[in-house]
């Protein structure tokens, strides 16, 4: 009886311990089919672990802008890891193959040059999300066109970019360029919030948040101190891969219709920034906006040291200066620059600071490199009146010149003098929250260029007469160049 039970038990358990060939094949197929699900589960687990780590291992807690620096650095690394897993920053090589209307590829690439943060990948992803490239789409909240811009936004940032004779939010090219101008305006404002430590988060995430909910809401929320993976910024990032070229994809050699190969062109919008800190693919040559005769008329009493040839030579080294955006923006930047250096140099009369009693005030001896040219050697020189040993060192390093040991180059070489002025204009935020270049091209306005150069010494009631003198010069030069100076409310600081 016992032996019979054991045989019966063995027969009963046989199917559980011994597979026939069909069953074994079914098990293998099942395991292979589950492999993608396992990978997705692991990816989700990694993201959760990173977020959990950001919160200190217990619960998700806000990252305050006032957080301890060492803790903030650790949190930043964690945030960057999640961002990369969620789609990155949109700075990969643009692929236009998934843009339904190939005629829109060139405007997208052109519009993306309007500020450093923006790329063609970001524009395409936002348009895809907003309208799926439906140029005639009208949304329930008043949004219209490719980017679903409201009439209010388009009225402020829209122009007739395709020269059709009419600016329209339902015109694809007009909409794309208005999209870029509005985005760049938001980028300037969110950068200001970051600098003032009013918000937490990375620059792109905050700008996309502002696009979706408005700047006041971003500031009220303190930015995005806790990552929300189903939020608008991360939904946009999820579309980046669709418009980013893969390693085996043929590069787009002429998407912007200029006959140049961006892979071989150092001014491609996907190449690293040049020394001026901007994408070096300008929309136009700034020097063509200013003739020698016009320059002479603007500065009838100028010192001959400040030559037109010296200016145009310096401009070649900063191609994004007066070369970013449409013609109106480019002319405004040229007028703004000339107005400010007019003020700083007394109409391009003074090559060196006229108050010699102050010459010894510009040596920061605490710097490791000191003041090798002497205590009084770093006084104001040139169109922007470059001063302090720290600025001579930084400008010299950027320009490939030893200005720390030989600061007199700025008063002896006209091109070098102009280069130092453009170096400051293009790369330094000075006493403000943005570079003067970004102030004009990003929508900050002329007033922000004054803040960058002289800050509280003039702005906020510091010296209203000096501010007004700069504004008057800007309006005069803008009129000479045939361009409207812009919103009156943005001309002062």
Phi, psi for 390 (deg, rounded to 5): -65, -40
CB 82 within 8 A of CB 228: no
In b/e form, how buried is each residue of 26-44, taking b as 16+ CB within 10 angstroms? eeeeeeeeeeeeeeeeeee
CB 287 within 8 A of CB 315: yes
DSSP-assigned beta bridge partners for residue 386: 381
CA distance 399 to 275: 8
CA distance 467 to 330: 22
Q: Active-site residue among 173, 333, 344, 448?
A: 344
Q: In angstroms, what CA-CA distances link 233 with 348, 372, 483?
A: 47, 49, 36
- C-alpha dihedral (17, 20, 22, 23), degrees to nearest 10: 0
344 an active-site residue?
A: yes
Q: In what helix (H) or strand (E) does residue 205 lie, and over which residues does it extend? A: helix 203-213
CA distance 54 to 61: 8
Q: For residue 114, which of 226, 278, 312 has the smallest C-alpha distance?
A: 278
Q: What is the DSSP string of 423-438?
A: HHHHH--TTSSS-HHH
Which of the residues are catalytic? 344
């Amino acid at each position: 009886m016992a032996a019979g039970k054991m045989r019966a038990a063995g027969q009963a358990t046989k199917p559980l311990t011994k597979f026939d060939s069909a069953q074994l094949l079914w098990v293998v197929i099942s395991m292979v089919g589950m492999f993608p699900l396992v990978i997705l589960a692991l990816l989700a687990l990694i993201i959760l672990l990173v977020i959990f780590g950001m919160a200190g291992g217990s619960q998700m807690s806000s990252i305050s802008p006032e957080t301890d620096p060492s803790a903030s650095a650790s949190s930043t690394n964690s945030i960057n890891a999640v961002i990369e897993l969620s789609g990155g920053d949109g700075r990969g090589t643009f692929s236009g193959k998934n843009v339904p209307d190939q005629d829109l590829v060139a405007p997208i690439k052109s519009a993306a040059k309007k500020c450093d943060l923006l790329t063609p990948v970001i524009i395409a992803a936002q348009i895809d999300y907003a309208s799926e490239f439906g140029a005639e789409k009208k949304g329930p909240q008043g949004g219209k066109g490719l980017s679903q811009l409201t009439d209010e936004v388009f009225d402020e940032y829209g122009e007739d970019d395709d020269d059709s004779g009419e600016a329209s939010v339902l015109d694809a090219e007009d909409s794309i360029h208005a999209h870029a101008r509005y985005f760049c305006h938001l980028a300037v404002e969110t950068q200001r919030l970051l600098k003032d430590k009013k918000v937490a988060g990375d620059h792109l995430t905050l700008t996309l948040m502002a696009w979706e909910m408005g700047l006041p809401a971003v500031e009220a929320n303190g930015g995005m101190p806790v990552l929300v993976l189903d939020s608008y910024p991360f939904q946009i990032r999820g579309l980046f891969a669709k418009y980013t070229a893969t390693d085996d994809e043929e590069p787009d050699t002429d998407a912007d219709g200029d006959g140049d190969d961006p892979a071989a062109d150092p001014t491609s919008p996907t190449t690293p920034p040049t020394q001026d800190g901007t994408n070096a693919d300008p929309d136009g040559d700034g020097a063509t906006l200013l003739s020698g005769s016009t320059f002479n008329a603007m500065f009838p009493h100028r010192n001959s040291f400040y030559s037109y040839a010296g200016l145009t030579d310096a401009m070649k080294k900063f191609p994004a200066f007066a070369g970013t955006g449409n013609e109106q923006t480019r002319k405004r930047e040229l007028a703004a620059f000339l107005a400010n250096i007019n003020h700083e140099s007394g109409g391009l009369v003074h090559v060196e600071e006229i108050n010699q009693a102050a010459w010894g005030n510009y040596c920061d001896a605490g710097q490791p490199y000191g003041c090798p040219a002497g205590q009084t050697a770093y006084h104001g020189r040139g169109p922007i009146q470059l001063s302090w040993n720290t600025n001579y060192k930084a400008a010299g390093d950027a320009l490939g010149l030893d200005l720390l040991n030989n600061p007199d180059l700025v008063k002896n070489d006209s091109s070098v003098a102009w280069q130092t002025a453009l170096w400051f204009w293009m790369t330094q935020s000075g006493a403000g929250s943005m570079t003067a270049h970004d102030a004009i091209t990003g929508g900050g306005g002329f007033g922000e260029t004054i803040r960058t150069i002289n800050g509280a010494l003039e702005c906020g009631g510091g010296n209203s007469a000096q501010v007004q003198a700069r504004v008057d010069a800007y309006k005069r030069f803008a009129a000479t160049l045939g361009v409207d100076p812009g919103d009156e409310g943005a001309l002062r600081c």
